[in-house]
Amino acid sequence: MKRILLFFALGITLLVIWFGESRKFFCLEDGNCVTVWKTFFNVCYIIPGKYYGIVKPSEQYIESSNTNLITIYWSRELPNAFVFQSSGEVKAYDGSNHKFTFYDYTKDTSRLNKILYGPNAVKRADIKTDAGLMDIDIRENYATDKSGKKL
């Protein structure tokens, strides 16, 4: 009887975790990927690359709400870094090893515009050829590239 209760409790716990948390990987054609991990209590982690860990990352991630909209930019001029722009509040954690760096687009718009866009850029899609962008709708759990194509 104890084994049945133990398996039942384990099954319920696994179902809660399975439906309460979701993790998606979004990748652009050039291989730049991001992990969007929605967790309990309205906390979402955005991690460079594909993250398979079962605990919160210790460094190099962005923490957001599960309902935020965020844009991620990449550029060859900023290796091992990405630029983010968010409609809500976010916290970026670079970590102690500084292998990856985050730049807030709204804090240094003029400098980052020169890196990401050409001098004649009019639209967001007019990003330089050596750069890319990804719009992430965390609430709806999808992302689009610079042309609006779903990833």
Question: Could you tell me the sign of the dihedral formed by the alpha carbons of 87, 40, 99, 80, in that order?
Answer: negative
| The two structure tokens encoding residue 27 | 């990748």
- pLDDT tens-digit readout, 76-119: 998 888 899 998 999 999 877 777 889 999 998 889 989 999 88
Domain locations in the chain as residue ranges = 2-144
Query: What is the Cβ-side half-sphere exposure of residue 59, based on CA atoms within 13 angstroms?
Result: 8
pLDDT grade, residue 125 (50/70/90)?
confident
- pLDDT tens-digit readout, 1-50: 888 888 888 887 776 666 557 889 999 877 888 999 998 889 999 999 99
Question: Which residues make beta-bridge pairs with 134?
Answer: 72
Average pLDDT score over residue span 50-79: 91
